[in-house]
Amino acid sequence: MKKIAILGATGSIGTQTLEVISQYPDMFELYAITGNDNWQLLAQQARQYQPEVVCVANESNYLPLKEALSDMPVKVYAGMESIAQMVQMSTIDMVVTAMVGYAGLLPTIKAIEAGKDIALANKETLVVAGELICELADKYKVKILPVDSEHSAIFQCLTGEQLNPIEKIYLTASGGPFRTFSYEELKHVTAAQALRHPNWTMGAKITIDSASMMNKGFEVIEAKWLFGLNAQQIEVLVHPQSIVHSMVQFADGAVKAQLGTPDMRLPILYALTYPRRMQTNYERVDFLKISSLTFEAPDTKRFRNLAFAFEAMERGGNAPCVLNAANEVVVKAFLQGKIGFLQMSDIIEDTMQQTEFLSSPSYEDYVQCDAMARRMAQQLIEK
């Protein structure tokens, strides 16, 4: 029986992880869940799944959450410090990191230091501090199992290929809702349009990132750290059907691909049960109904964020941290209607150019850099 803690239980990945866990009661026990603003859903989840511990990051939600669960034998805590302490509990075997954004970094570090295996859905953790996370995982002998569909696909393709070096990986991207929009059309898109992803159901932030292709840029940086790659070994392909989740090319020219329906429960389950594959009733791919599988190169002139991510990855140091911080600020501003779709890239670029570069940052450097980049991006928005 594997005891699971889910960081970010109220988000898209968190809710689907709860569903997956509930389907295999003989294999998993839910020990702890966390949320942030949606304390009402967190309370409902606590009642339905009955974890031992519930923690809400936003401390202003502590009292209503505590009151809502007052008749239950559950421990209720609040604050990021409490989450960082919770993941270190000796009773937890695996931590699913599904928190959104930079906030997932510290709890992931604390979980690794406590020897917990990580099912990683919080891509910003590796984007911001990939070198640090990989060093800690190696030091504490912890497995980092990818939950993102693309990285899970690469991971699955590499199973049994330990002796065969990777020549190249192909990360696939749906292209988002604006794949066919001209540069002029992109000037006028709204947040409501950007939130309508053609293939996947995700939270607001990651959906905007997908529309701007920043999400794919983050995945490029993640892939570098997860699979020990350089920029020349990573290629992005726009694949609108979202059936081929990613591919690996080996030295002999052979290519392995992982295919499946667009269903995040599959990579979640694989991360939780690796190396086993469990029987599911999830939808299967019907190849007779697929008229074609198409691939095209991404347009980094219209979608500049992808180019920024490659640039940050090659530069290294704190550059990806700056990229992430600026992106979190501009996405929030775009959702609030304060800036346009294309302005997000303009502000990210200016922030990256104006922030001091550090080649070998410590954790404390990352914290300061994140705060500095956020302030700079916010100032650029308010100009």
- Find the mean pLDDT for residues 252-281: 96
Q: Same structural domain for residues 228 and 329?
A: no
pLDDT 10s digits, 325-348: 999 999 999 999 999 999 999 999
Residue 275 forms part of a structural domain? no
Residue 109 forms part of a structural domain? yes
> Which pLDDT value is given to residue 200?
61
Q: Same structural domain for residues 172 and 258?
A: yes
The token pair at 106 is 């510290």
State the SS3 of 266-307.
HHHHHHHHCCCCCCCCCCCCCHHHCCCCCCECCCCCCCHHHH
> Which pLDDT value is given to residue 383?
82
Q: Same structural domain for residues 193 and 301?
A: yes
Q: Same structural domain for residues 96 and 167?
A: no
In terms of residue numbers, what domain contains 183? 149-262+293-314
Cβ atoms < 10 Å from Cβ of 159: 12
Omega cis (within 30) before 275: yes
The one-character DSSP state at 349 is: H
With pLDDT > 70 as the criterion, what percentage of the chain qualifies? Answer: 99
Residue 192 forms part of a structural domain? yes
Residue 277 forms part of a structural domain? no
Average model confidence (pLDDT) across the chain:
95
pLDDT exceeds 80 at position 202: no
Q: Same structural domain for residues 171 and 305?
A: yes
Query: How many Å apart are CA 294 and CA 286, to the nearest integer?
Result: 16
pLDDT 10s digits, 226-265: 999 999 999 999 999 999 999 999 999 999 999 999 999 9
> Which pLDDT value is given to residue 206?
87
CB contact at 8 A, 186 and 342: yes
pLDDT bucket at 7, cuts 50 / 70 / 90: very high
**Alpha carbon separation from 101 to 122, 132, 272 (Å, rounded):** 7, 17, 22
Give backbone dihedrals phi and psi of 248, rounded to 5 degrees, phi first: -125, 130
> Which pLDDT value is given to residue 77?
98
> Which pLDDT value is given to residue 199?
65
pLDDT 10s digits, 301-325: 999 999 999 999 999 999 999 999 9
- Find the mean pLDDT for residues 131-140: 97
Number of H helices, E strands in the chain: 16, 11
Residue 281 forms part of a structural domain? no
* Number of structural domains in the chain: 3
With pLDDT > 90 as the criterion, what percentage of the chain qualifies? Answer: 94
> Which pLDDT value is given to residue 196?
83
Q: Same structural domain for residues 154 and 134?
A: no
Q: Which among 146, 180, 198 is the end of a domain? A: 146
pTM for this structure? 0.93
Query: How many Å apart are CA 8 and CA 35, to the nearest integer?
Result: 5
pLDDT exceeds 70 at position 150: yes
pLDDT 10s digits, 29-78: 999 999 999 999 999 999 999 999 999 999 999 999 999 999 999 999 99
pLDDT exceeds 70 at position 201: no
Q: Same structural domain for residues 141 and 219?
A: no
Query: How many Å apart are CA 27 and CA 21, to the nearest integer?
Result: 8
Q: Same structural domain for residues 79 and 54?
A: yes
Q: Which among 95, 111, 146 is the end of a domain? A: 146
CB contact at 8 A, 56 and 35: yes
> Which pLDDT value is given to residue 267?
97
The token pair at 252 is 């002999």
Q: Same structural domain for residues 157 and 248?
A: yes
